[in-house]
Chain A
Amino acid sequence: MQPVGAVVPLRVDIAEKTFRSAQGVSITALQDLSFEVRQGEFACLLGPSGCGKTTTLRILLGLDKDFSGSFQLPEGGSNRIAAVFQEPILLPWRTVEQNVRLALPKSLRTKNLDGLFDTLGLAGMRSLYPAELSLGLARRAALARAFATEPAVLFLDEPFASLDERTAERLRHLLLTVWSARPTTALMVTHNLREALMLSDRIIVLAQRPAHVLGMFDVRLPRHYRNPQVMSDLLRSFHQKFPGVV
């Protein structure tokens, strides 16, 4: 066990996760999946569709306890976790602001959220209901909710899927802006390599199902240096290291 107050990374060590379908067929989704994300690091889980990325996040979020193995969550300051799911999952009967505040612990319920809403471009939408938002705006509200809780670790499951590329690009920049203001350990699932190269400090590359780690790709460059030229260099060296992936 770690001494109290020590900086604990996110440590994942899942031996096996098997689903049993209604017809009795069993599907092994994860096998010997182990990796670490350092404190304050932004990591991406990159893998083909259906390989078990969402399954991994659900285990880490404590939503699926039926697996063998163990994991340890970071405990920097708060021990709260936050998640941005594949769908925004806002309560349709509560306004944007109520959705965000409900996710906060009692001690933070009345905190000032102006800055966060401003950064995410939601200042005028606080009193709208989710049905009145576009998908892009709903995703921003989900980001606002996650960051408002000041979590020790943040999980994101393809938060920019099914958006048009321009909106997705804008949201990626917004995500970077709020994350840089208060860097938390973050693990984001994606199957978009460019997105992973743009956002993360390190990419954890997963194999086809059953998912296990093929290797790591570290992006040591500060994010503001990652211009189109540098990005194509990164892409090339990624493909050299992982031929055939993505």
Chain B
Amino acid sequence: MTAPDTGDRTPGAAAGSQSSLATALTPVLTVAVSLLGLCLLWGFAANAWPSRAFPGPGQVWQVLLAEAASGDLFYHLGATLGRVAAAYVIAMVVGSVIGVALGSYRSADRFFSPWVILFLNIPALVVIVLAYIWFGLNEAAAIGAVAVNKIPNVVVTMREGARALDPNYAEMAAVYRFGLLDRIRHVLLPQLQPYLAAASRSGIALIWKIVLVVELLGRSNGVGFQIYLYFQLFDVAAILAYTLAFVAVMLVIELLVVQPVERHATRWRRRPA
């Protein structure tokens, strides 16, 4: 957060919508200015050392526009984004369930802990290759391989979260006979929220990088496939265009989805995280 002490986050403050709009825009503006600075630096460097392997931002922008106009850009971005989303959802759900179970039952944790360490240390590439060999070059193998790479991380984080659960809330819920869904929604998830947020953050970053590898090795579309294609053509401008386009998409998701969701989830704290 840029300004933790602006003091205008109080709900229903008299200053109202104008200042809250400013608060909402400040992080976006900061990000824009900072990225602009990076672009200028890049342009300057590309001018100083002109080379086909190091195009300036202008060239990359041209390629980006051309790819967008032909529709290719959106097709491949969409394919990659779909895989990222699917792998993310699977990894978060499976990893959370396993993590919470391990955090809640000590004996299960003692037994499965070595498995978790083993899976944490298997290289992503090995999982991908094995998945393609065992299950064929298909979408399920691709997404599954990415999810399996991420699941041990989620397990470890959510296990910490489950260990930190306050038994008082569970007992209160037991006395008042909360249903299973209410328990999950109103007792369990809010307590796990900081851990879910941490796992999501590191998760999305890790997952999209692995998705590119998966696409490079065994898919015929997606950003990873395109980068591989342009690598063979030695077209650095196109490689950068696809990479930056996808980074931009992830940034927009972070700003427009992740951060607002997090602000909403922590609104009950006196000072939002």
Contacts of A106 in B (CB 8 A): 179
| Contact across chains for A91 and B186 when beta carbons are under 8 A apart | yes
| Contact across chains for B168 and A87 when beta carbons are under 8 A apart | yes
Q: Choose among B178, B182, B268, B270 the residue with the greatest number of A CB atoms under 10 Å from its CB.
A: B268
Binary CB contact string for chain B from 180 to 210 against chain A (1 if under 8 A, 0 otherwise): 0010001100100000000000000000000
Contacts of A129 in B (CB 8 A): 268
Binary CB contact string for chain A from 136 to 149 against chain B (1 if under 8 A, 0 otherwise): 00000000010001
Which residue of chain B has its CB nearest to the CB of A94? Answer: B186
Q: How far is the CB of B189 from chain A (nearest CB, A)?
A: 9
Determine which of A81, A85, A93, A131 lies in contact with B168 in the assembled complex, contact meaning CB atoms within 8 Å: A85
Contacts of A83 in B (CB 8 A): 172, 175
| Contact across chains for A91 and B169 when beta carbons are under 8 A apart | yes
| Contact across chains for B182 and A63 when beta carbons are under 8 A apart | no
Q: Does B111 contact A (CB under 8 A)?
A: no
- A145 to B177 alpha-carbon distance, docked (Å): 13
Contacts of B186 in A (CB 8 A): 91, 93-94, 98, 102
- What number of B residues sit within 8 Å (CB to CB) of A? 17
Which residue of chain A has its CB nearest to the CB of B178? Answer: A102
Which residue of chain B has its CB nearest to the CB of A92? Answer: B268
Given contacts A89-B168, A102-B186, contact A132 B270 (CB under 8 A): yes
Contacts of A105 in B (CB 8 A): 177
Q: Does B176 contact A (CB under 8 A)?
A: yes
- A103 to B176 alpha-carbon distance, docked (Å): 5
| Contact across chains for A131 and B176 when beta carbons are under 8 A apart | no
| Contact across chains for B176 and A91 when beta carbons are under 8 A apart | no
Given contacts A102-B182, A131-B269, A132-B270, contact A93 B190 (CB under 8 A): yes
Determine which of A63, A82, A94, A132 lies in contact with B174 in the assembled complex, contact meaning CB atoms within 8 Å: A63
Q: Does A62 contact B (CB under 8 A)?
A: yes
| Contact across chains for B270 and A81 when beta carbons are under 8 A apart | no
- A62 to B269 alpha-carbon distance, docked (Å): 32
Q: Does B5 contact A (CB under 8 A)?
A: no
- A131 to B190 alpha-carbon distance, docked (Å): 15
Q: Which of A59-95 contact B (CB under 8 A)?
A: 61-63, 80-83, 85, 87, 89, 91-94
| Contact across chains for B187 and A62 when beta carbons are under 8 A apart | no
Binary CB contact string for chain A from 16 to 57 against chain B (1 if under 8 A, 0 otherwise): 000000000000000000000000000000000000000000
Given contacts A91-B186, A93-B190, A102-B186, contact A85 B268 (CB under 8 A): no
- A149 to B182 alpha-carbon distance, docked (Å): 16
| Contact across chains for A93 and B178 when beta carbons are under 8 A apart | no
Determine which of A63, A81, A91, A98 lies in contact with B187 in the assembled complex, contact meaning CB atoms within 8 Å: A91
Q: How far is the CB of A122 from chain B (nearest CB, A)?
A: 17
Contacts of A102 in B (CB 8 A): 176, 178, 182, 186
Contacts of A94 in B (CB 8 A): 186, 268
- A82 to B172 alpha-carbon distance, docked (Å): 9
- A173 to B171 alpha-carbon distance, docked (Å): 28
| Contact across chains for A80 and B177 when beta carbons are under 8 A apart | yes
Which residue of chain B has its CB nearest to the CB of A98? Answer: B186
Which residue of chain B has its CB nearest to the CB of A132? Answer: B270
| Contact across chains for A85 and B269 when beta carbons are under 8 A apart | no
Binary CB contact string for chain A from 173 to 184 against chain B (1 if under 8 A, 0 otherwise): 000000000000
User: Interface on A for B, CB 8 Å cutoff?
Assistant: 61-63, 80-83, 85, 87, 89, 91-94, 98, 102-103, 105-106, 129, 131-132, 145, 149
User: Interface on B for A, CB 8 Å cutoff?
Assistant: 168-169, 171-172, 174-179, 182, 186-187, 190, 268-270
Q: Contacts A63-B171, A92-B268 given; 17 further ones with Cβ under 8 A?
A: A81-B175, A82-B175, A82-B176, A83-B172, A83-B175, A89-B171, A91-B190, A93-B186, A93-B268, A94-B186, A98-B186, A102-B176, A103-B178, A106-B179, A129-B268, A131-B268, A131-B270
